[in-house]
Amino acid sequence: MEAFHYLTNIDYIYFHQSKIGRIERKAFSKMYQIDHLYFKDSVEIGMIESEAFSESQVDELIFDGITVESAHDTFLLNLDSENTIFKNSTIFLVPRQEENVIEFNEEQKIIEKCLIHSSTFNILSPYKLGCNVLEVSSSNIQRIGPVSRDIDTPVFRPEPLITSSLNSVIFSNCSIGSVDSYSFTNYTLSTLSFDHSKITSFKSKAIEKSKIQRIGFEGSKIEVFNESSIHKSKIKTLDFDGMEIERIEKEWIQNSTISKMRIMNSKIENIEKNIFKDSKFGEIDMDGNRITMMDSEAFYGDNQISTLSITANDLTTSTPSPSLLSPSSHPTSFILANNTIDCSPSDCSTNSFLLNSPKHSPLLYQISNNRCRPPSQSPCVEPRSITIEDHGITCRISSLLADCACTSSTSSIPSRFPIDANISIVVLGDCEHLTLDQRKAEFSQIYIFRTSKLVVLELPRSLKVFKIFHSTVSLMRQERYDHSTVVSPQSWEISNSKVDLIGPFGFSNLQISNLYFHFSRLPHIPSHSTRNSEIQNLIIQNCFLESTQPLFEISETLQMSHSVIFSSPRGLGTISSAQLQNNTLLECCRHPFVPTDYRNPMGLDTIDMDPRCDLHFYGSRCFNLDSLDDGVYTNLPITSSINCEYHLLPLVFCIFVYFWI
């Protein structure tokens, strides 16, 4: 023990063609300014104990052509080294004895880079090596995972004294038997990659409770991803490119958040149903793959997928004419294009969904140029047509989509469609008077086009996308509040439209990710009409606004450009990030004032409004606030451009127009 303790200022320490029975704990400890320490050329070592090089500073430690009968998995721990290299070596790792408690006299020392090349390990537990970067190439690793006393039952035993310094782990051209449970538990990595390698299996919880910037698989062969291979983890990018995968089991990814997943140019033999469970995805992109058998419900399950793109794939599915999307929980945005699929010649509804391009352009889904595998007969691609007289609409049904038009002077959207309970997306247009009053409906997306009068009374709780185009809208939602009444749209857009009236609860009980107003006009917004609501991102472009405060006060971020505002914007002080560009502020009234609509529901005495404001705000009025109850704020006009910088907003460009009376 401590045979080379305190050795200093040595260029080379060299063990050559030697046989060493045992390297004890701290045998090479507290060495300083050692340039090179070599174990090279037919060195045989019986045992290396834990922390054999603890607290030493060695620029380069090289094991080249050695055989180690057994070594504790922590034998390199607490070594300060630029490079530690294993070449042409065979090492058998074992767990250290429980009585050997890890001890650090000061902060744990780190190896900057560990390189393993053309070597054989029975097992590898990356964080126990104490490296910042681990690169393994052209090696045979029987298992990756925790070094357990029961070799067949991996057990994760956290060791709080060991600092997991790992930043990246890279395997290339390796043969790996299995990536065991708890191989990467509680890791924080920038990169984890497996390139041009052969892996038998990724076991359950192989990646668990970890935060990883990028996981990459390129040109590798994997026999199976077991259920819950990725569990309770946050991953920014998960990439598969040029892969050969035999099987992806159900619930492969569980309780995880992945910003972007890409599966490209790969061959997959079998994808089971419900491969995701209770997980969130920003974007999933599958392009150029050949999938021999994919369950038609592979993407079903209780998950949140913002964007799903399936393009240029050759898909064989468990049932012909698969819709691929779950009516109850499909992505907000999806692309199905240039795929070869199996078709059932008689399934007109699903075929029309998969093979016909949508007639409307501003939808959050794109379907084009899909084709059936050469069939014995041409498939039916005509959607089913139904007329619902009680609601004054006629529709064409394509799988989970209903494309409708109004047939009566007064129309409404039904809570469900009589011949198909799986309708999730409703497109409706060309209406005179349309009422939306369906809180219990299970629609995820509603698109309204060219409607003379749209009255919104209730929104479906399941609604994720609500888009209105070229219409006149009244938001007259009812007063209700409990957790069951909150609606959480990811995207709500009003474009080329006029909102003529917002009721006292028009914007209440909403949790909106993105609210867009484009080329539209907004009336006075009652001060309490946004109660119990939150907007993550508010985007206003080329609009005319009579008031801003109620919307601004519930918004986290704001982007407003090329818009005209009736009076000084209030509510900016509560926004965490705001960008205002090329907006025009009109001071149309003496102060104090409040704009409202021509019906003057508050019964206030009017103040003359400059007639030049009628160009943009015809029908608006100014009112004296002296008699208003508490809770209605006094809007004071901006009097100089310095106010534009008061909240230190980035990219602020304002045009002030003052009408003095």
Chunked mean pLDDT (size 10), the chain, 661 residues: 75 92 92 94 94 94 97 93 97 80 76 97 92 97 82 59 81 97 93 98 96 98 98 98 98 97 98 95 97 94 91 94 81 92 89 87 87 81 91 93 95 85 90 92 93 95 93 88 73 95 92 95 90 95 91 95 84 89 81 45 56 73 48 34 33 41 35
Structure tokens at 47: 């045992």
539 assigned to some structural domain: yes
Q: Identify the pLDDT of residue 96.
A: 78
- Closest C-alpha to 461, from 482, 443, 479, 436: 443
Tell me what pLDDT residue 199 has: 98
**Cα–Cα distance, 610 to 593 (Å, whole number):** 13
Which of 214, 165, 180 lies closest to 194 in space, CA to CA?
214
**230 domain-assigned:** no
What is d(CA 574, CA 538) in angstroms, rounded to the nearest whole number?
Answer: 13
Residue 27 to residue 43: CA distance in whole angstroms: 17
Q: Residue 644 sits in which domain range?
A: 503-658
541 domain-assigned: yes
The CA angle 175-23-106, to the nearest 5 degrees, is 90
| DSSP code for 196 | S
Q: What does the alpha-carbon distance between residue 445 and residue 393 come to, in Å, rounded to a whole number? A: 18
Query: Based on the structure, what is the number of domains in the chain?
Result: 1
Q: Is residue 225 part of a domain?
A: no
pTM for the predicted model, two decimal places: 0.83
Q: What angle do CA 325, 341, 394 make, to 5 degrees?
A: 55
- Structural domain includes residue 3: no
Can you tell me whether residue 294 is helix, strand or coil? strand
Residue 497 lies in a domain: no
Identify whether 611 is part of a domain.
yes
Structure confidence at residue 376 (pLDDT):
59
Tell whether 465 is covered by a domain. Answer: no
- Distance, CA of 538 to CA of 569 (rounded, Å): 14
Q: What are the backbone dihedrals phi and psi of residue 354, each rounded to the nearest 5 degrees, phi first?
A: -80, -30
**Three-state SS for 621?**
strand
- The per-residue pLDDT for 587 is 76
Quote the DSSP letter at residue 635: B
Beta carbons within 8 Å of 170's beta carbon, 6+ residues apart: 133, 134, 135, 136, 191, 192, 193, 195
- pLDDT of 32 reads 92
Q: Coil, strand, or helix at residue 424?
A: coil
